[in-house]
Structure 1
Amino acid sequence: MASEEAKLELFLQWLKINGAELRGCRIKYCNSSKGFGIFSSNDVPDGIFLVIPLDLAITPMKVLEDPLIGPACRSMFEEGEVDDRFLMMLFLTVERLRKNSTWKPYLDMLPTEFGSTLWFTDDDLLELKGTTLHRATELLKKSLKTLFDEKVKKLAEKLLVLAGNPESEVRFEDFLWANSIFWTRALNIPFPSSYVFRTGSSNAPGASTNSTEKLANGENGKSPEMNKSSQVSGSESTSRGDTIWVEGLVPGIDFCNHDLKAAATWEIDGSGSLTGTPFSMYLLSAGIIPFQGEKEISISYGAKGNEELLFLYGFVIKDNSDDYLMLHYPVEAISDMPFSEGKLLLLEEQKGELRCLLPRSLLNNGFFPESTSPRGTNSNNRGFDYTCSGHRKPPSYADKLVFPEKLLTALRTVTMTETQLHQVYSSLEKLVGSGVERRPSESEVRAAVWEACGNSGALQLIVDLLYMKMTELEEGSGTEAHDAELLKKADVVGAERDTRCSSNGSVPMSRNAWASVVYRRGQKELTRRFLREAEHALQLALREES
């Protein structure tokens, strides 16, 4: 604890020297799992707790202006060897190993271990067996290791030589740390364009006007190696009028922990009229919770399911109302089917989706909702035109069907028979004429497929996919009831979940294991409930189609 206080003291001095202001808050150490947090300290009439100059943000632009490694990074970026996210991770990897780094007081405050699944031990990962997250974690870790061996290690060591640290050895763990720091702490910051493109400033990217324009326009030469999993999906640097959105780390603001009922939000003050500090980010009270005495100031990371929370941030929320289930039909399987070319063409015409997230909230408008409150019409299928020639009546249960139309569209096409395929093409030909006057619209193709196929084939396939998913989940870690019993015992025996809890009074359960059980139990519950919806809808579809 003494070492944490020493780090904090140096960091606070560093913030003050660089123009930051803690007006109505203080930063303090919480525990080993949460690290540091921000707490209210006194009343602030204007609601502004903390002000951080944008010059302190670590962004791709800041990397390019570094006096020692900036020119080399600029060259990599200009040539498309790195994109902006990769550039940030590379910079963090190097700065952590760089002696006398100007960012050392901040970097020393950052966690060295994470609860995200990339940091799970082999035993921890076994708790996720059968889940989507288990496979995603294995794939991402493998791809990051390949990226490190083939690219990161060489580039990082090159930059360390330029920084005067040729003896520093770069390990995979250093890059894994940088990757986790970026994904757990980076914000999408709306920089004023006047700040990004200002001239005559020591904080402008030097002669790299072209590099800055590329960042502002999202022209980042996306690195294909970084386009892996849901963590890496390309640039978030875009220009919108007088605002340029750039991902970056903001020391101080990033110590706010997550709560769905956020106590604060962050804003940008370009002119300095609100904070007295031009080009700054400030932490503002959300006005939800009165701050009397010391209370933690939280922000919201957004509505996220436990799969995303555990994968990126390393924690879960029990009974998470934003949980979701991934349903996926592999497109590769279509190539082995009869008439695969025709089906793939129809899928493209309809913009059907074979991979779909099913949020828990969909169940509120289904056949078996948890709530007894009045339900609205299912917005997933609102506006779908079921009519083509009028030979098939719209389903009577459409407003209670929880599965999105884009998924049903795709699966209708996948299960199509030869007769149905010919019927679709015949209907479309009659609709638009046999010539080349025009192509059928997306909605016309969907309606023709619906009229030829109905819903029973697609719903049967959904039932099969959900049965397969449940089988994988239960083979990996047992039943939903088993998980519920584990959590019940853990709640009773180990209330301190931030450190350790117990599954039965004698065998301890690690925090990672507890989070895994919460996540996988939620997946089993959603699979069971969506399966019930699919089976009931299938019965109705078969009855009406017969």
Structure 2
Amino acid sequence: MSASQALRWGAGACAASLGLALHVARGDGGGAQCLAAEQTAAAAAAAAKREVELAALAAWLQQQGADIDAISIKESETDAGRYGVYANATTLQRAARSWAGTVAGWAGFGRSTPVAVAAFPLDSTLTAANLARHPRQGAMLRELMELGVADERVAVILHLAVERRRQLAQRGGGGGSGGPSPLEPWLALLPDAFSTTQYFSELELQWLRGTTLHKATRLRQKGLREAWMRLEPVARQLSEAEGAPPATLEDWVWANSLFWSRAISFPTPNPEGGQRVVMQEGIVPGLDVCNHSGTSACKWTVFGAEAAAGGKRLRRGEQPDAVSLVCPRRGVPRPGSEITINYGDKSNEELLFLYGFAVQDNPHEVLTLMCPLPPPAEWDGLLEARLLLLQRRGLRPQLHLPAADLSRLGAGEDAKAAAAAKAGRVASSDEVLASDLPDHVLEILEVFVMEPAQVAAELEAPEASSSSASSASASASSSSSGAGAAAVGGKKGEAEASGRRMALLTTLVRLLELKALEMEDGVEGTGPLEADQELLAAAGEALPRNQRHALLYRMGQKALARAYLVHAKKLLQREMAHLAALQ
């Protein structure tokens, strides 16, 4: 049934409700039946429209030179309103399309050999290099990049904003003299809004109170508005070149969300020849529909496919000309199964900020602690010196505490002790402390507790020497390990080193306490972790999508802050006992 037929059917069903007004007045359900018929007709029309748009996208991708015979792009079966890539009957044929491949599969050879199930030409990707050759926008985009007004990412985002406005204007009947966007079949299936945090309503943002992501979203929204004020005249010129209505701030925000949620960085053959490759960043229409799964064995590749998707092997020395979607030979999904890729080991903070979703019990979760700094106008000379020293060391005033590190931190002490014993010495407290915290934490905290004279000395040293300065844990280990401590300063020297370690740990504990309070306070934050756990158990999937993913994210942050706080307090108590033993 076509969309127009569905609508006519719905109208006819309502008209067939005899004496509709009378039925409604009597309350015998005639009005409800009519409403149900209208809803059914509308759903059928929407489904028919999507089928037409999906067919148009497939035809457009094939016109671009894509090989998509072995995949189907259709509505997601797990995420309503979104799309995904699915295997079809041809997918398995790709894994065993040759006698050699079949025998290898039976024998167990080449099980992990990547088999391309789809391929998308490099020259059809939306990258700055390709857009620089655009017939109307290319010259302006090249000039913007050459003058430093826009980098390669911004050039692509500007192009997307202009094309989106063309598409919306065409949909509304006011497309201008330039006609529809060449990207129309692809743009038609993209969402009008995203589930990333910059699209959250004010109410939804309140679900993130107290988290790093809440502040980051506010800053991002402000940054996009400020960037648009600077780039709007450029975008207007690009639109004029297409004979299209000017792009708006809404288009700019949309294009940013689209780029950051779908762009990938991939290697391409060097256009000047040779063995070196050139990295490009952009969107691959078609491939961008692949959804994320942390356990997926499928991936995209440029140089890693066993053969091109059509069965043509690359000859020796021949350069690839496509981005391929590949699956291991014995891991090709069955027809009807979704083909997903792994976006990488990303924290929920990054997933929600860039992609619009969070993963429950994410093993890659990271807690970010921002070192509390006053407004720049209030910085004194000493704080400026500390920040300069951090910059020289290649660090920033923020601590990243991964969940994955907690599982190895307990074993760190035993590992250091064993290594020291093998070397014929006793592991120092500095070495043990370094094994119990992520590598950069001590070095960042050291800068903030360092004596002013030492800060000045570090800054006066040659930059190469200062930049390679070791962290607090390493700087004292050589002089305070085992019997060496006695030679350098005995108990007095070790007590001073212990006092320094206590200062670092006390600072870390205080930062963690502040973060936990900020997130779990009922006013500044969103309440205790236990309340979140009860809400998830009670409401679960019934929660609106954005609220549910915000809940998953903040639960992970609260749990991680608690775990690191317990760990840091344990380290502090151990150091206090060590110092007491030296008295």
TM-score of the aligned structures, taking structure 1 as reference length: 0.76
Question: Structure 2 residue aligned with 1:143, among 223, 228, 231?
Answer: 223
Match of 1:216 in 2: none
More helix per residue: 1 or 2?
A: 2
Identity within the alignment, %? 31
1:132 aligns with 2:212: yes
- Alignment of structure 1 residues 14-93 onto 2, 5 Å: 14-30=60-76, 33=80, 35-42=82-89, 43-46=92-95, 47-93=115-161
What does the per-residue CA deviation read over 1:292-351, in whole Å, with 9 as the maximum and x for residues that have no partner? 331000000000111110000001100111101002214559986796577567656765
Q: Does 2:373 correspond to 1:324?
A: no
2:128–2:282 contact (8 Å) kept in structure 1: yes
Which residue of structure 1 lines up, in the alignment, with residue 11 of structure 2? none
- Residue 406 of structure 2 aligns with which residue? 363
3-state DSSP of counterpart to 1:282: strand
**How much does 1:249 deviate?**
1.0
Q: Is contact 1:349–1:445 with CA below 8 Å preserved after alignment?
A: no
* Alignment match, 2:518: 472
SS in 2 for 1:127: helix
Partner of 1:300: 342
Residues 442, 449 of structure 1: alpha-carbon distance in 2 compared, 3 angstrom cutoff: farther
For 1:512-527, what aligned pairs fall within 5 Å after superposition? 512-527=546-561
Q: 2:236 aligns with which of 150, 157, 161?
A: 157
Distance (Å, rounded) in 1 between the aligned partners of 2:239 and 2:142: 15
Per-residue CA deviation, residues 60-98 of structure 1 (Å, 9 max, x unaligned), is: 122111111211222222211111000000000111223
Q: Hey, what's the Cα distance between the residues in 2 that align with 1:353 and 1:145?
A: 25
- Mark the CA change 1:340 to 1:312 in structure 2 (over 3 Å): closer, same or farther: closer
- The one-letter code of the counterpart of 2:325 is L
Contact 2:70 2:94 in 1 (8 A): no
- Report how far residue 400 of structure 1 moved: 8.0
Question: Is it true that 1:179 corresponds to 2:256 in the alignment?
Answer: yes
Query: Which piece of structure 1 moves more, 136-145 or 329-338?
Result: 329-338
1:236 equivalent in structure 2: none
CA distance in 2, matches of 1:134, 1:271: 41
> Structure 2 CA distance, aligned partners of 1:13 and 1:58?
18
Report the secondary structure of 2:268's partner residue: strand
Match of 1:107 among 187, 204, 214: 187
Q: Is the 8 A contact 1:380 1:402 kept in 2?
A: no
Given that residues 72 and 159 in structure 1 are in contact (C-alpha distance below 8 angstroms), is that contact kept between their aligned partners in structure 2?
A: yes
Letter in 1 for 2:266: I
- For 1:234-261, what per-residue CA distance to the aligned partner results, in whole angstroms no more than 9, with x for missing partners? xxxxxx9521110011111111100011
Distance in 1 of aligned mates of 2:81 and 2:418:
43
Which ranges in structure 1 are unaligned for 5 or more consecutive residues?
A: 199-239, 368-374, 385-389, 429-434, 495-500, 502-508
Cα distance between partner residues in 1 of 2:375 and 2:359? 35
- Partners of 2:416 and 2:187 in 1: CA distance: 45
Query: Could you tell me which amino acid in structure 2 is paired with residue 301 of structure 1?
Result: Y
* Structure ID, larger Rg: 2
Deviation at 1:143, TM superposition (A): 1.0
User: Does the Cα contact within 8 Å between 2:394 and 2:467 map onto a contact in 1?
Assistant: no
Greater displacement, 41-50 / 348-357: 348-357
Among candidates 536, 539, 542, match of residue 490 of structure 1: 539
Q: Distance in 1 between matches of 2:415 and 2:280?
A: 33
CA separation in 1, counterparts of 2:360 and 2:471?
A: 42
For 2:429, the equivalent position in structure 1 comes to: 395
| Correspondent of 1:282 among 313, 324, 335 | 324
Q: Is the 8 A contact 1:272 1:279 kept in 2?
A: no
Tell me how far apart the structure 2 counterparts of residues 445 and 306 of structure 1 sit (CA, whole Å): 29
Matches within 5 A, 1:349-360: 354-360=397-403
Give the SS at the match of 2:193.
Answer: coil
Question: 3-state SS of the aligned residue for 1:170?
Answer: coil
Contact 1:190 1:244 in 2 (8 A): yes
The root-mean-square deviation of aligned C-alpha atoms, in Å, is 3.6
Task: Say which SS state the counterpart of residue 293 (structure 1) adopts.
Answer: coil
Distance 1:45 1:114 in 2: 34
How far the C-alpha of 1:534 sits from its partner, in A, is: 0.7
Do the aligned partners of 1:24 and 1:48 also contact (CA within 8 Å) in 2? no
Closer/same/farther in 2, CA of residues 130 and 94 from structure 1, 3 Å limit: same
